[in-house]
Chains A and B, each alone.
Chain A
Amino acid sequence: KAGVTQTPRYLIKTRGQQVTLSCSPISGHRSVSWYQQTPGQGLQFLFEYFSETQRNKGNFPGRFSGRQFSNSRSEMNVSTLELGDSALYLCASSPGGGYGSYEQYFGPGTRLTVT
């Protein structure tokens, strides 16, 4: 099976702009989670989607949003970018729901740089 793919891999934006990142999960996986990784804060949970519904949300401002499509692909959007949004954004997929489905498979990430 193909792994989790994320596009684009690298992105440079300026403050105030918005950005959309995309994630395609492993075929058959219905849960997609997003994480922000920075040297100072480590890995922080953004949100999780399952069957197009957001089931859980981390402690991030409303500028961070996401959605999931019927084919389980997911996008996350960050509006009004700030310098502090520079980070590696990781997407992870899992089968979702039930025992043994906790194993998450990560994509390579999107490196966002805000200038």
Chain B
Amino acid sequence: AQSVTQLDSQVPVFEEAPVELRCNYSSSVSVYLFWYVQYPNQGLQLLLKYLSGSTLVESINGFEAEFNKSQTSFHLRKPSVHISDTAEYFCAVPSGNQFYFGTGTSLTVIP
């Protein structure tokens, strides 16, 4: 079975500073990888995904993630965060007919 590890449960960062949210997965086969974001009292929204091709994927709101097969990682980065980025972020990997989610990283942007 797949598993996903998010090493940081909480990440506080000042507004306009860069941020990296870490995600590692366990797999010996090709994987698809996803980042989801959850704002308070809402469901999960897809932020970005890696299915194949370029290892660097970007979202429309400035986040990017890089698939690193040798390090089995899919870290999420943003060069300059906004207050509105405060949310819970989940890394996920599908296997079979289900998704395996990490435990989540709570990003808090400090004014």
The yes or no verdict on A and B being binding partners is yes
**Chain A residues close to B by CB (< 8 Å):** 4, 31, 33, 35, 42-43, 45, 48, 50, 55-56, 58, 90, 92, 99-100, 102-109
Q: Which of chain B's residues have a CB closer than 8 A to the CB of A109?
A: 42-43
Majority-rule SS of A interface residues: strand
29 contacts between A and B (CB under 8 A): A4-B43, A31-B97, A33-B97, A33-B99, A35-B101, A42-B101, A43-B90, A43-B101, A43-B104, A45-B98, A45-B100, A50-B97, A56-B96, A56-B97, A56-B98, A58-B98, A92-B44, A99-B51, A100-B51, A102-B32, A102-B34, A102-B94, A103-B46, A104-B99, A106-B36, A106-B43, A106-B45, A107-B43, A108-B43
A3 and B95 alpha carbons, distance in the complex (Å): 24
Task: Tell me how many residues of B have a C-beta within 8 Å of chain A.
Answer: 22
Bound Cα distance from A55 to B98, whole angstroms: 9
Complex CA gap A84/B89 in Å reads 24
Tell me whether A103 and B49 are in contact (CB under 8 A): yes
Is residue B72 contacting chain A, with contact meaning CB distance below 8 A? no
Q: Is B3 close to A, CB under 8 A?
A: no
Which A residues touch B42, using CB under 8 A?
A: 108-109
